Amino acid sequence: MIKRIQEWLSRKDRQVPVEISPDNIPRHVAIIMDGNGRWAKRRGLPRIVGHQNGMKAVKRATIAANDLGVEFLTMYAFSTENWKRPKDEVDFLMRLPVEFLAIELDELIEKNVQVRVMGDTEALPSHTRRAMEEAIVRTESNTGLILNFALNYGGRKEIEDCMRGLGKDIQAGVLSPEEITSELIDSRLLSGGLPDPDLLIRTSGEMRLSNFMLWQIAYSELWFTDAYWPEFDKAHLMQAVAEYQRRTRRYGGLK
Ligand code: V07
């Protein structure tokens, strides 16, 4: 019975049309893509089928974000903690960039999307790195939406590495402690060059940050949905953006 009610609640036709103003679109949307395994389990399918469908949702969300005029989309594809999962699952996940390149990339190239990756990519298997590098190179002259994958990414590790770098520069005498500012730290994080996310979305009902972009989301609006990531579509993104606009609306030109 509860399952029936949950299914009814998540039905698409329940979603009401949302009004979105073109003047206040979040420039940078970041997404924690949670619930691939749970989505599969509910259907009696193996977890990897959930990840596969999660990859399709990445393309759907990218096209939807591009259509709305979002400039930067950062997706949490693999965390530094995900290595603790069963080896078979990790091996499968590490093949997804290869599949993404083969199956999804052409359509994104047509839409002028540029792919980037942030994380400790040196620790990735060589086939993963090759696919990721090919996706980056094939899209580097594109001028549309920037699709930034967080891959082997951890927020604390990013801060740790940044602090170690600053410490080394101080020790080498090329930086003084007074020169450490928010702007300098921004520029030396893995996201260096991207504006902070305006909107953070997490799917699958969990309300945690799970070590994602800890420094960068200091002022982001947070939006959560019970939908599992493989179900995520344009309607969800529009709901999130509409809510973002309600929360950030200012009268009298104050912003
Ligand atoms: C992964 C699909 C999305 C749901 C969350 C986990 C599984 C796309 C990529 C990817 C990464 C880099 C790149 C091109 C594609 C990816 C992993 C997992 C490890 F250059 N989806 N996806 N990578 N999932």
Annotated catalytic residue 34: yes
pLDDT of residue 252: 45
246 conformational bin, left if phi > 0, alpha if psi -120 to 50, beta if neither: alpha
34, 53, 66, 148: which is the annotated catalytic residue? 34
Please list the ranges in the chain whose pLDDT falls under 70: 1-16, 251-255
Q: Are strands 221-224 and 199-202 parallel, antiparallel or unpaired?
A: parallel
Separation of CA 213 and ligand 1 centre (Å):
17
Any atom of ligand 1 within 6 Å of the Cβ of 113: no
Please enumerate in sequence order all residues whose Cβ is within 8 A of that of 156, keeping only pairs 6 or more positions apart, or say none: 211, 214
What count of other Cβ atoms lies within 10 Å of the Cβ of residue 128? Answer: 20
Indicate the DSSP class of residue 198. Answer: S
Q: What is the pTM of this model?
A: 0.93
User: By alpha-carbon position, which residue is closest to atom 14 of ligand 1?
Assistant: 97
pLDDT of residue 161: 98
- Closest CA relative to residue 55, chosen from 69, 39, 71: 39
Pocket test for ligand 1, best of 59, 132, 151 (most atoms within 8 A of CB): 151
Please enumerate in sequence order all residues whose Cβ is within 8 A of that of 190, keeping only pairs 6 or more positions apart, or say none: 118, 119, 153, 158
Any atom of ligand 1 within 6 Å of the Cβ of 54: yes
Quote the radius of gyration of the chain (alpha carbons, Å).
Answer: 19
Residues 109 and 138: beta-carbon distance below 8 Å:
yes
Query: Domain 24-153+196-246, what architecture?
Result: 3-Layer(aba) Sandwich (3.40)
Q: What are phi and psi of 218, to 5 degrees?
A: -50, -40
Any atom of ligand 1 within 6 Å of the Cβ of 229: yes
Q: What are phi and psi of 229, to 5 degrees?
A: -55, -40
pLDDT tens per residue, range 90-148 = 999 999 999 999 999 999 999 999 999 999 999 999 999 999 999 999 999 999 999 99
Any atom of ligand 1 within 6 Å of the Cβ of 232: no
What count of other Cβ atoms lies within 10 Å of the Cβ of residue 12? Answer: 10
Annotated catalytic residue 186: no
66, 67, 82, 196: which is the annotated catalytic residue? 82
Extract the tokens encoding 227: 């939908």
Sequence ranges of the domains in the chain: 24-153+196-246
